[in-house]
Amino acid sequence: MSDFTIREDWLPFCLPDISQAEIDADAEAIRSGWWAKGPKTMEFQQKFAQYVGAKHCIAVNSCTAAQHLSLLTAGIGPGDEVITTPLTFASTANTILHVGATPVFADIDPDTGLIDTEEIEKKITPRTRAVVPVHYSGLACDLDAIGALCDAHGLFLSEDAAHAVETRYKGELIGHHPRGTVCYSFYATKNLACGEGGALITDDDEIAKRAQVLSCHGMSAGAWNRYGKEGSWRYDIEEPGYKYNMFDIQAALALTQLARMEDMQRRRFEAVQVYEEAFRDVPELRLQKTPAYCHHSRHLYVMRIVPERLTISRDAFIEELKARNVGVSVHFIALHTMSAYVKRFGYKPEDFPKAYAFSESEISLPMYSTLGVQNAQYVAQAVLDIVKRYRK
């Protein structure tokens, strides 16, 4: 271990999993001549709803679009408060601002990075209308506890499941008969990827119908087929909607990836195993805990350094990894420290001390289905080499 040798090529933080099936599926979708929203998008909606075990799936062009539609269809708007976590991607809170409501942050549980249910409870006011928990990194939030809070206070629940394809809560997939809405991302780096894409999942017929209409300009349902022989040129605009729908070239990719989920997840777990074994007894590193109720989708491999035990900062640790040709990332730069949020709400980093400390010590290691055991071993050795050089 002491004779660590730097590899010659750069190991990317993330890569999509491209098999011949994806290439064939998109070639077929292109040749079919139906490039916009059409039969493939319809098929994906049906198959993804069936896969998670929900009544409706509205396929859209991003998770951000799904999150915006969720809040709109739940009737959330100006004067309303929506509770979410500061340890998330911007769209989780940006979309709350887009509907004119106010995002209210609740701090996290430092063992997991998930929003802390007790912190949510403290932030409830008479203006609170919804909670947007994030299944951070692929861990599940405590949905029974959060759901009970929502029931007690009449709050809408919109889950951010961008990391949660394959995540299970008490044995059931996230999205299985949801209380409110569940929003997925199929962005290039996510467990199920189609470049850009997303889905809104719900069991509520009214929400599903309105989200479907709003996702395509506000056109009456079925208007996607207005050029087909069975379709009609006549359509109505029920309300001014958005251009948020998925299209068939995306859907063909998403369908292929859905069919390959089991195999892709198996290979992800092989890499996880390597990291878990290598870092088990390293006091300079703090690993994420998986609550007993949950099956982790392993979208991210989240590692924190223990600053008191090292002579090197987190940022310098990342530079050392880069010098060893390892691409890494940080999930997330705490949202309340971003300038748009500081300007608008006057937040200080210490306002959410646990999320801030987490964000300042976290490093996301390469984690994807094509990473491979050998590359994971290399990453683990690189991390351990840095720990050894800089331990106090």
Ligand X SMILES: *Cc1c(COP(=O)(O)O)cnc(C)c1O
Which residues form the interface with ligand X (CB under 6 A)?
Answer: 62-64, 88-89, 91-92, 134, 160, 162-163, 185, 187, 198
Catalytic option among 40, 190, 243, 388: 190
Q: How far is the CB of 159 from ligand X (least distance, A)?
A: 10
* Nearer CB in complex with ligand X: 150/246: 246
- The answer to whether the CB of 216 falls within 8 A of the CB of 222 is no
* Nearer CB in complex with ligand X: 162/321: 162
* Nearer CB in complex with ligand X: 185/245: 185
Residue with tokens 């964000």: 359
* Nearer CB in complex with ligand X: 163/336: 163
Residue with tokens 């068939």: 248
Contacts 24+ apart (CB under 8 A), 319-325: 320/386, 320/390, 321/363, 321/382, 321/383, 321/386, 323/6, 324/4, 324/6, 324/7, 324/382, 324/385, 324/386, 325/6, 325/7, 325/8, 325/9, 325/10, 325/11
Q: How far is the CB of 385 from ligand X (least distance, A)?
A: 29
Sequence-distant (6+) residues with CB within 8 A of 348 are none
Q: How far is the CB of 73 from ligand X (least distance, A)?
A: 17
Q: How far is the CB of 173 from ligand X (least distance, A)?
A: 17
* Nearer CB in complex with ligand X: 88/158: 88
* Nearer CB in complex with ligand X: 92/288: 92
* 343 annotated active-site: no
Q: How far is the CB of 246 from ligand X (least distance, A)?
A: 11
Q: How far is the CB of 121 from ligand X (least distance, A)?
A: 22
- Which residues are designated catalytic? 190
